[in-house]
Structure 1
Amino acid sequence: MAATKPPSCSTRLRSPATTAACFLPASLLLFLLLLLLRRPPMGSFPPTIPGGSVSSRRAELYGRMARDLDERGAAFLDGGETSQSLTLSELFDTRDGAVVPMLKAANPPVRANVLYLDPEFASVISKAVKEVFLPYFNQAIWFQNMSIYHFSMFHTSHHLEPIVATEDEIEAEVDAVKRVTDDVCPLKIILDQVVLTSTGVLLGLWQVESGTDPADIRSRLREALPRAPQKQLYDPVMLHTSLARILGHPKLPQEGNAQSLDHVKFFHDLVAQVNSKIRGFQATVKELWFVEEYDVLALALNGKMKVRRLQFGCKEGQGNGKI
Structure 2
Amino acid sequence: MARVRNWYNQSKPATLIWFISLITFYAVFRMASKVSPLSRELQVSNAERNRMYDKMSRDLDEHGALFLKQGETSQSLLLSDLFDIKNGSVTPVLKAANPPVRANVLYMSPEFSLPISKVVRDIFSPTLDKVIWFQNPELYHFSMFHASHHISPVSASEEEIEAEANAVKGVAEKLCRMRIVLDRVVLTSTGVLLGLWQVMSGSDPVTIRSELRNALPHAPVKQLYAPAILHTSLARIIGHPYNSSQEGGSALELQYIHELVVGLNKAIHGTEATISELWYVEEYDVLALALDGKMKLRRFKFGCWKG
Q: Equivalent residue for 1:176?
A: 167
Query: How far does residue 225 in structure 1 lie from its aligned partner after superposition?
Result: 1.0
Distance 1:67 1:83 in 2: 15
Q: Which has the higher helix share?
A: 2
Q: Equivalent residue for 2:96?
A: 105
Instruction: Provide the secondary structure at the position in 2 that maps to 1:235.
Output: coil
What per-residue deviation string (whole Å, max 9, x for no partner) do you get for residues 267-296 of structure 1?
111100001100000000010110000001
Instruction: Provide the secondary structure at the position in 1 that maps to 2:246.
Output: helix
**Code of the aligned partner of 1:95:** K
CA contact (8 A) 1:132 1:274 kept: yes
Query: How far does residue 137 in structure 1 lie from its aligned partner after superposition?
Result: 0.9
**Code of the aligned partner of 2:283:** E
Instruction: Provide the secondary structure at the position in 2 that maps to 1:161.
Output: coil
Instruction: Provide the secondary structure at the position in 1 that maps to 2:303.
Output: coil
Distance 1:281 1:315 in 2: 20
Q: Count residues in correspondence.
A: 266
Distance 1:237 1:73 in 2: 26
CA contact (8 A) 1:141 1:244 kept: yes
Query: How far does residue 261 in structure 1 lie from its aligned partner after superposition?
Result: 5.8
Distance 2:211 2:52 in 1: 22
Distance 1:113 1:314 in 2: 18
Corresponding residue to 1:300 among 290, 296, 305: 290
Give yes or no for the alignment of 1:158 onto 2:152. no
Corresponding residue to 2:300 among 272, 286, 310: 310
Q: Equivalent residue for 1:143?
A: 134
CA contact (8 A) 1:115 1:153 kept: yes
Give yes or no for the alignment of 1:188 onto 2:176. no
What per-residue deviation string (whole Å, max 9, x for no partner) do you get for residues 153-205 of structure 1?
00001112111000000100111111111110110000000000000000000
Distance 2:277 2:199 in 1: 15
Distance 2:272 2:128 in 1: 28
Distance 1:146 1:81 in 2: 24
Corresponding residue to 1:249 among 232, 240, 245: 240
Distance 2:257 2:106 in 1: 28
Could you tell me which runs of 5 or more consecutive residues in structure 1 were left unpaired when the two chains were aligned: 1-48
TM-score (norm 2): 0.84
Instruction: Provide the secondary structure at the position in 2 that maps to 1:220.
Output: helix
CA contact (8 A) 2:192 2:233 kept: yes
Q: Equivalent residue for 1:17?
A: none
Q: Equivalent residue for 2:280?
A: 290
CA contact (8 A) 1:110 1:292 kept: yes
Query: How far does residue 89 in structure 1 lie from its aligned partner after superposition?
Result: 2.0
Could you tell me which runs of 5 or more consecutive residues in structure 2 were left unpaired when the two chains were aligned: 1-39
Moved over 6 A (4+): none
**Code of the aligned partner of 1:57:** E
TM-score (norm 1): 0.80
Q: Equivalent residue for 1:258?
A: 246
Instruction: Give the alignment of 1:1-323 within 5 angstroms.
Output: 50-252=41-243, 257-258=245-246, 262-316=252-306
RMSD: 1.4
